[in-house]
Amino acid sequence: MFLHIHFQVGISRHRILMDSRTSSSRLSCIVKSNADFGGLIGVLKNAIILKYVHMKRQIYSLQLLFVILLFMVSACGGNEDNITPPEPETPAITVPDSENLRPVLNQEGGTVSISFTTTADWTASLVNTRAESWITVTPSSGSKGKNEITITTTANETYDERNATVVLKCGSASKNIVVTQKQKDALTVTSSKYEVDSKGGNINVEVKANISFEVEIKTDWIKQQTEKIRALTASNLNFTIEPNETGDKREGEIIIKSGELSETVKVYQGFENFITLTQKDFTIPEEGGSVDIEIKSTLGYEVKMLPDVVDWITEVQSRAVSTHTHHYTVSPNDTYDSREVKIVFYNPKDKNVADTVTIYQLQKDAIVLAQDEYIMEAKGGELDFTVSANVEFKVSVSADWIEQISTRGLIDKRLKFVVKENTSDENRETVITISNDKLEQHIKVIQKGKNIFSIKQKEYTVSAAGEQIRVEVTATGKYSIQMPEVDWIAEVTTKATVTNTHVFTIAANEGYDERSAEITFIDGESGLAETVKVIQKQLDAIFIGQDEYTLGCEGGTIEIKVDANVEYTVTTSENWIEQITTRALSTGILRFTILANDSESQRTGSVTLTGNDITKIIVIRQAGKDNTSGGIDDMPTQPW
């Protein structure tokens, strides 16, 4: 008996044949695609139950058949899951790093090639079809593997840079190539000719350019006022044309250029008759001076002064030619007032053609004082004096024991001061300064002390070369001078006045020791004495026993005897001369170690002693190692 079952699950068709006539069952499974094996098992279960109802007597056989069927179905399903279909290769485009995906082509046009690799078929196309008029791509498609496309552009006759994008596609993968082509350079001017009158002025040159350019001017009477501008737009360049004072018409060029492109602008300028001065104002100091007046004229001219009579300006020479310099001499101004004159250069036929120069001379500034020193008693009082000035001035006092009393006035101004009492035993002094920005006058005010006998400086230090000293003595009475019992100080003059300066000559000190002496000033009334001490420096010296030493190559130790009355420093010129000790006081011995000379050449070094602008140099010579002469025993023992 056969049970023939047909069923459809999903898109799969199954046919199961069961034979109950034998003790074994035969199951055939046909699967044409992946099926839902869970559904299949359910169908089989239903079939088995149906057969069990109709064939109760063969239950055992069906159970066995069910187990076998489950095993086979499981085996069929397992085989189906282990079959893995091949996956398709992912689309990709690979461009080497050496390739430029943003190429720039020049204005004349050209080609550029780009290589790449794809994993499948590919295409190349322009993103914007409007670029097809000037750019082509070949080939436009190909198969997988290594490939190369060539991009070609025609000449760019426009004044703008242009761009196009080429897209490479391989399946879902893509690469963009952005192509740039340079524009056609442009440089033009809207007008190449300008006419300017003799007075000069400004001109504007309109330039159209999409490149950087520079301006070249062929003459110095045309000046550029604006800078160049880049872009293809209307750019205005401003130029200043100076007045034409040559007496002839003239022509100039402005060249606007960039590389091989250039435009020339012609400037034509006329002329008119004129008389002009290069400088129209001169200010001369009170000491006088000279004035050079340069006149340029296209006409004959004459000269006159205003006022007509001027005796403090004289012309050195006068000639009336087209271009000339007139020389004038200005005398010193001895007055206390400034003065001025105008010199007019004019055409006698047309006095409207003229020019004028003004010469201004400063006055003699003055601040005049009746006297420049006043002596006040110790009790103080009022000090007044007259100042004559033609300038404003200010007053300052260097001490607080004099106070100015304010008054008003400018010329012949009387100044008053209150001098406070001097309660000390010493004289005191101050300075009243009368000044402005240019002038300065000083008035010295000395106020006596209760006991007037003093010396301003009581100690002098003189160099060994000798010199003169000045001793200032202030006293209310007579005094005497007691000279020291030395022959190197002598008085030049001797005076006994209230305020006096005594001059003493100090002879040169030819010894090596410092010396001093005292000059005594004795007040004749009180017997008080003031002493002035004079200290004279010694003659500085550094003495050495000998100034040259010669040693053998083995080296050794040398001793240099030094006598000095100044401190000094010791330096060596070579590192093979090493000082053992340094003593820079009075008489001393300097010791040095001379290292062995390992070379075959003789070498020379030095030791330098320096102090108070005195320099002594000791030369040390050392033989080379093959030189057997000149050992330590051959050194001179006596000074050279």
**Tens digits of residue pLDDT in 515-570:** 999 999 998 877 889 999 999 888 888 888 888 999 999 989 999 888 888 888 99
Whether 11 maps to a domain, the answer reads: no
pLDDT higher than threshold 60 for residue 595 = yes
Q: Which residues contact 348 (CB under 8 A, 6 or more apart)?
A: 300, 301, 302
| β-strand pairing of 281-284 with 354-361 | parallel
457 and 475 inside one domain: yes
Task: Count CB-CB contacts under 10 A for residue 411.
Answer: 9
pLDDT at 640 over 60: no
Range of 131's domain? Answer: 93-181
Both 469 and 508 in one domain: the answer is yes
Burial class (CB in 10 A: 0-12, 13-18, 19+), 613: exposed
Q: Specify whether 400 is located in the same domain as 434.
A: yes
Beta bridge partners of 329: 290, 314
Is 631 within a domain? no
Mean pLDDT in residue range 167-191: 91
- Mark whether 175 and 97 lie in a shared domain: yes
250 closest CA partner among 222, 274, 273, 276: 222
pLDDT value of position 5: 43
Q: 570 and 525 in one domain?
A: no
The predicted pLDDT at position 144 comes to: 92
- Residue 607, in any domain of the structure: yes
Same domain, 234 and 298: no
CA distance 373 to 442: 9
441 and 463, same domain (yes or no): no
* Residue 101 confidence (pLDDT): 93
- The residue from 141, 157, 181 where one domain ends is 181
Same domain? For 176 and 97 the reply is yes
- Same domain assignment for residues 531 and 486: yes
Share of the chain above pLDDT 70, in %: 78
Overall number of domains in the chain: 6
In the predicted structure, residue 282 carries a pLDDT above the cut 60: yes
Single residue among 473, 502, 536 that ends a domain in this structure: 536
391 against 332, higher pLDDT: 332
pLDDT for 339: 92
For residue 393, being part of any structural domain is answered with yes
Q: pLDDT value at position 317?
A: 66
| CATH number reported for the structural domain that contains residue 213 in this entry | 2.60.40.10
**How would DSSP label each residue in 186-245?**
-EEES-SEEEE-TT-EEEEEEEEESS--EEEESSTTEEE-S----SBEEEEEEEEEPP--
Same domain, 201 and 264: yes
Q: Do residue 604 and residue 571 come from a single domain?
A: yes
Q: Are 10 and 38 in contact (CB under 8 A)?
A: no
Type and span of the H or E element at 67? helix 59-81
Mean pLDDT, the chain, rounded, equals: 80
Higher per-residue confidence, 560 vs 425: 560
Among residues 308, 309, 386, 302, the alpha carbon closest in space to that of 346 is found at 302
Q: Lowest mean pLDDT: which of 52-66, 85-99, 178-192, 457-471?
A: 52-66
Last residue of a domain, one of 519, 536, 553: 536
Query: Do the beta carbons of residue 103 and residue 180 sit within 8 Å?
Result: yes
* C-alpha atoms less than 13 angstroms from C-alpha of 74 in its C-beta half-sphere: 6
3-state secondary structure 97-130: CCCCCCCEECCCCEEEEEEEEECCCEEEEECCHH
- What is the per-residue pLDDT for 82? 55
Position 4 in a domain: no
pTM: 0.33
The predicted structure's pLDDT at residue 63? 60
> Does 467 fall in a domain?
yes
Contacts of 587 (CB under 8 A, 6+ apart): 561, 562, 563, 564
How confident is the model over 475-499, as a mean pLDDT? 78
Res 416: pLDDT: 86
Q: What dihedral do alpha carbons 309, 315, 320, 323 form, nearest 10°?
A: -130
Domain-embedded: residue 57: no
What pLDDT is recorded for position 534? 95
Assess whether 284 and 265 both reside in one domain. Answer: no
Query: Picking from 10-19, 360-369, 424-433, 618-627, which range would have the lowest pLDDT averaged per residue?
Result: 10-19
Give the model confidence (pLDDT) of 405-422 as tens digits: 876 544 557 788 889 888
Whether the predicted pLDDT of 34 surpasses 50: no
Quick check: is 25 in a domain? no
The first and second tokens of residue 242, run together, are 């100076």
- Please name the residues in contact with 85: beta carbons below 8 A apart, sequence gap of 6 or more: none
